[in-house]
Amino acid sequence: MKKITRRGIVKAALYGGAGLVVGGLGYHLINAFTGKDYDHSRREKVLESIAESDNPEELPNIVIILTDDLGYGDLSCYGSSAVSTPNLDKMASSGVRMTSFYASAPVCTPSRAGLLTGRYPIRSHMNDALLTTWSLMGIGHRLLGYCDYGIPEDEILLSEMLKRRGYKTALIGKWHLGDYAPHLPNDRGFDFFYGAQRSNDIKPFAIYRNREIEVPAPADQEVLTTHYTKEAIDFIDQNRKNPFFLYFAHTFPHIPLHASDRFRGKSKGGLYGDTVEEIDWSVGELLKALKRFGLDRKTVVFFTSDNGPWYQGSPGGIRGRKRFVFEGGFRVPMIARWPGVIPGGTFSDEMSMNFDLFATSLQLAGVEVPSDRIIDGRNILPLLQGKAPSPHETLYFYWRKKLWAVRHRNWKYHRRHEVGDINPYPWPHNERRGPYLFNLETDPNESYSMTDTYPEVARQLATMMDEWESAVKRNIRGWE
């Protein structure tokens, strides 16, 4: 019998550990690259069914202004005393301000996927931020199944549908849904693109004009908002006689923070506040341009954020931040303005989510939502006009591939999970807590769990989550 030595034990442990690592990687590879249920033919069939408008002059222009990591409490019309946003305040006074509007994810990429597809990001396999394709972290994210190489080709984007309808389309700013063909903005329905393909904290920072690459010096980031604004207004000017869709996705206030000399050091909110005040200026310039070109009453403008604030910024007194499933990670400002159609000076606490902008925009363009797949978003124009309640009684909150929470009317239920905001020490000291049940009408800060007081409500919402999750797993892509 062979003698067992310490060296042999160590060797066996190393081989065993290596085997586990290889086996784990193999499992994740299989999980990451199989079972995605892709069907590229679906997209073309839907797009081919869309007819160009016979009366394009009657179509409204659509502008979606999306900020990056802007908090619910970062605008003065949402309660900020550190950041002054007179142009957005004016926009709110001439439109509607939403107070229970949610991003579809607490981080960049999936939230943008939800907005442009009208679907929960889990359906498009966009579950976390896309990183540089061949970076170690980018490869790691794909191995873990958090995301794919880019927005799947069988997903249909708002830009593609509006382009088929006869709209001129442009993306100004940050894309973050793929950094090589066929996942680039010009591949996905945008006639014109000027901006960044992914998060601007990845160096070197590159600005793309359609497919031509420019790499400015880092200091150029200080005038990014100025450049974006000029390009946006130029696009509007050049297409004033056509219906147009402008998706204006600001890079800031995502880190690293930069502001031009005109705004740097001027706010009471530090450099973060400076970037927000410059965005406010940009919104004012865009609205003035619409009026100057005679398009004010023909254009609906939506302003919102992709998720809650990150290292800086204010969630507005509600719990959580970016990457949290508490309200501060998902609840974001949203202002909608359309003179003559949306009443001015109003607000609504009815809940909705950014994927509703997909269905709403298609309704305005006279296009049916795709019938070959589940569309989670709904037309919220009647809500914005104060004519109807929310089309949603229930909204689900995903982070990465997991379903963490559900809101049903005023109740919000969290499954048991790690609560990183109650312990100053890093993992593994942050313990799993919950489940939680909060009444958002009386406790918008999610401070007082009511699971013991209303156990039947907690059970009902837990069952709703289980049933929803099972249905999604049976048909992850939501094909009809």
How distant, in Å, are the alpha carbons of 9, 13, 15, 168, 316 from that of 3?
11, 16, 18, 78, 67
Structure tokens at 183: 């996942």
pLDDT band with cut points at 50, 70 and 90 for residue 218: very low
Q: With 60 as the cut, is the pLDDT of residue 2 above it? A: no
pLDDT at 241: 96
pLDDT at 139: 85
Q: With 70 as the cut, is the pLDDT of residue 28 above it? A: no
User: Please, where are the H alpha helices in 96-211?
Assistant: 108-117, 136-143, 158-165
pLDDT at 202: 45
pLDDT band with cut points at 50, 70 and 90 for residue 204: very low
Which residues form the catalytic set? 108, 176
**Distance, CA of 126 to CA of 33 (rounded, Å):** 14
User: Measuring CA to CA, which residue among 467, 475, 452 is closest to residue 408?
Assistant: 467
Q: With 70 as the cut, is the pLDDT of residue 31 above it? A: no
Instruction: Give the pLDDT mean for 62-89.
Output: 98
What's the pLDDT tens digit per position in 163-187?
Answer: 999 999 999 999 999 988 999 999 9
Task: Indicate the helix (H) or strand (E) that contains 61.
Answer: strand 61-67
Instruction: Give the pLDDT mean for 325-348.
Output: 98
Q: How far apart are the first and last CA of the chain?
A: 63
Q: What is the DSSP letter of 189?
A: T
DSSP E strand boundaries for 253-328? 299-305
pLDDT at 412: 98
User: Measuring CA to CA, which residue among 458, 415, 397 is closest to residue 127?
Assistant: 397
pLDDT at 201: 46
**Distance, CA of 102 to CA of 111 (rounded, Å):** 10
Please, what sign has the CA dihedral across residues 144, 201, 253, 248? negative
Determine what percent of the chain is predicted with pLDDT higher than 70: 88
What's the pLDDT tens digit per position in 420-459?
Answer: 777 665 555 556 789 999 999 999 999 999 999 999 999 9
Do 308 and 321 touch, CB atoms closer than 8 A? yes
User: Measuring CA to CA, which residue among 338, 339, 335, 342 is closest to residue 386?
Assistant: 342
How many other CB atoms sit within 10 Å of the CB of residue 312?
Answer: 18
Domains annotated for the chain, with CATH where assigned, are 61-394 (3.40.720.10), 401-474 (3.30.1120.10)
Question: Cα torsion at 236, 237, 239, 244 (round to 10°)?
Answer: 20
